[in-house]
Amino acid sequence: MRARVWLGVAVLMVSACALIVTTSCEDVTTDTTIRISPDSPEVDRNETIVLTAALASGGTNNLFLPLEWSVSDPTLGTIVGLAGDTAVYQAGNRTGNNIIKVRDQANNEGVTSVRQL
C-alpha cells in the first residue's frame, strides 16, 4: 500500500514539474509583431537607409537579440550592416519594391516594404 502512495506522489511531482517547464517556455515565445521604422520608406537607387526594429505595443519591452533581417529581392538591395535593433539597407541600381523582414529569437516578426525610386 505504501509503495502505491509513494508512486502516486512521484507521478504527481513529475507531472507538476513538466507543467512548470512547459509554462515557462511558452512565456518566452510571444505572438507580438515587430514594428520597423521608418514604415514603408522610399530611397533613391544606390542609397542607404537605417531601419530600426521595436516590439509593437502590447508586447514585452525587449526584443530577443540577435535579430535576423532578410530581403525578398537581393538584386534590388541588401542588408549590409547590423547593430542591436538596427540594420542598414543598401539599395541597388534598380527601381522597385523590396520586402524587408525581421525576426527576433522569440519568433516575433515584422515586415516593411522599401520603395526604390
Whether 45 and 81 map to the same domain: the answer is yes
Tens-digit pLDDT profile for residues 22-75:
333 334 344 459 999 999 999 999 999 999 999 987 555 688 999 999 999 999
Whether 13 and 44 map to the same domain: the answer is no
CATH code of 83's domain:
2.60.40.1080
Question: For residue 54, what is its C-alpha cell?
Answer: 521595436
Whether 45 and 22 map to the same domain: the answer is no
Whether 64 and 18 map to the same domain: the answer is no
- pLDDT at residue 57 in the model: 72
pTM here is: 0.69
- List the one residue out of 88, 85, 74 whose CA is nearest residue 34: 85
- pLDDT at residue 111 in the model: 96
Whether 51 and 78 map to the same domain: the answer is yes
- pLDDT at residue 63 in the model: 87
What average pLDDT score do residues 2-16 get? 45
How many CB atoms within 10 Å of residue 59? Answer: 17
What average pLDDT score do residues 69-83 get? 97
- Looking at residue 44, its amino acid is D
